[in-house]
């Protein structure tokens, strides 16, 4: 996973990383949304931004339930850092032509077709990678805004100001002479 911000790159500040493998069941959407809400809240992300992330994530997960193939699980990876929230929702399915997606909202009388437009409206970046018979990855990125008085945000800011070298992740050796 070359995108994962904790692997191989020096990091500053607090990070939350969640990796979930979920059954293709409606209850799984609520579970991932609930976990994401609490992680964003704990880091002090402002409610308006957290709500955008939660809704876009719920739409991406709901699309898996509606459109993916016969697989019985899907994966959600979330990395919340000092500046952005990076999400990947991956299903094993038949794939689709993501270039044909409409990024504008469906009509008021339509019963479906709003998910992609909502994700695009709520997030800063939305990308789809889809391979026939291999599935689809929905990649969502949102720049975060914080309540700087939140205790975890205060820790994050203090750590970001420190000059000492940091570990890059579990199992990766520390950098610098005092390591």
- Please state, for a pLDDT cut of 70, what percent of the chain lies above it: 68
Report the pLDDT value the prediction gives residue 143, as an integer from 0 to 100: 97
Q: What is the pLDDT of residue 139?
A: 96
pLDDT in the model for residue 70: 67
Would you tell me which CATH number, out of the four given (3.40.50.300, 3.30.565.10, 2.40.30.10, 3.60.10.10), belongs to the domain 16-161?
Answer: 3.30.565.10
Instruction: Give pLDDT, residue 107.
Output: 55
* pLDDT over threshold 50, residue 14: yes
pLDDT above 80 for 163: no
pLDDT of residue 24 exceeding 60, the answer is yes
pLDDT for 58-108, tens place per residue? Answer: 999 998 888 776 667 899 999 998 899 999 999 876 655 555 555 554 554
Spatial neighbors of 88 by CB under 8 A, at least 6 apart, are: 3, 75, 76, 77, 137, 138, 139, 140
Q: pLDDT band at 1, cuts 50/70/90?
A: very low
Q: What is the mean pLDDT of the chain?
A: 78
Residue 148's pLDDT is: 87
In Å, what is the CA distance from 55 to each residue of 34, 73, 96, 119, 131?
11, 21, 22, 8, 25
pLDDT at 161: 77
- The pLDDT of residue 79 is 95
Res 7: pLDDT: 40
Would you state the pLDDT for residue 157? 80
Q: What is the pLDDT of residues 26-50, one digit of tens each?
A: 999 999 999 999 999 999 999 999 9
Report yes or no: 93 and 69 within 8 Å, Cβ to Cβ. Answer: yes
Residue carrying structure tokens 């002090």: 44
Rg (CA), the chain: 18
User: Which among 9-23, 24-38, 123-137, 163-177 has the top mean pLDDT?
Assistant: 24-38
């Amino acid at each position: 996973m070359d995108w994962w911000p904790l692997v191989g790159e020096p990091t500053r500040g607090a990070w939350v990383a969640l990796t979930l493998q979920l059954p293709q069941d409606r209850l799984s959407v609520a579970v991932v949304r609930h976990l994401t809400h609490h992680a964003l809240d704990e880091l002090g992300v402002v409610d308006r931004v957290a709500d955008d992330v939660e809704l876009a994530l719920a739409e991406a997960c709901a699309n898996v339930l509606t459109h993916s193939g016969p697989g019985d699980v899907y994966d959600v990876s979330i990395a919340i850092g000092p500046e952005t929230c990076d999400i990947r929702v991956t299903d094993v399915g038949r794939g689709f032509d993501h270039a044909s997606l409409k990024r504008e909202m469906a009509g008021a009388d339509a019963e479906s077709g709003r998910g992609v437009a909502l994700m695009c409206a709520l997030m800063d970046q939305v990308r789809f990678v889809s391979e026939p018979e291999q599935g689809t990855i929905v990649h969502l990125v949102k720049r975060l805004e914080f309540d700087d008085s939140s205790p975890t945000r205060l820790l994050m800011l203090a750590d970001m100001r420190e000059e000492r070298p940091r570990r890059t992740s579990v199992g990766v050796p520390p950098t610098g002479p005092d390591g």
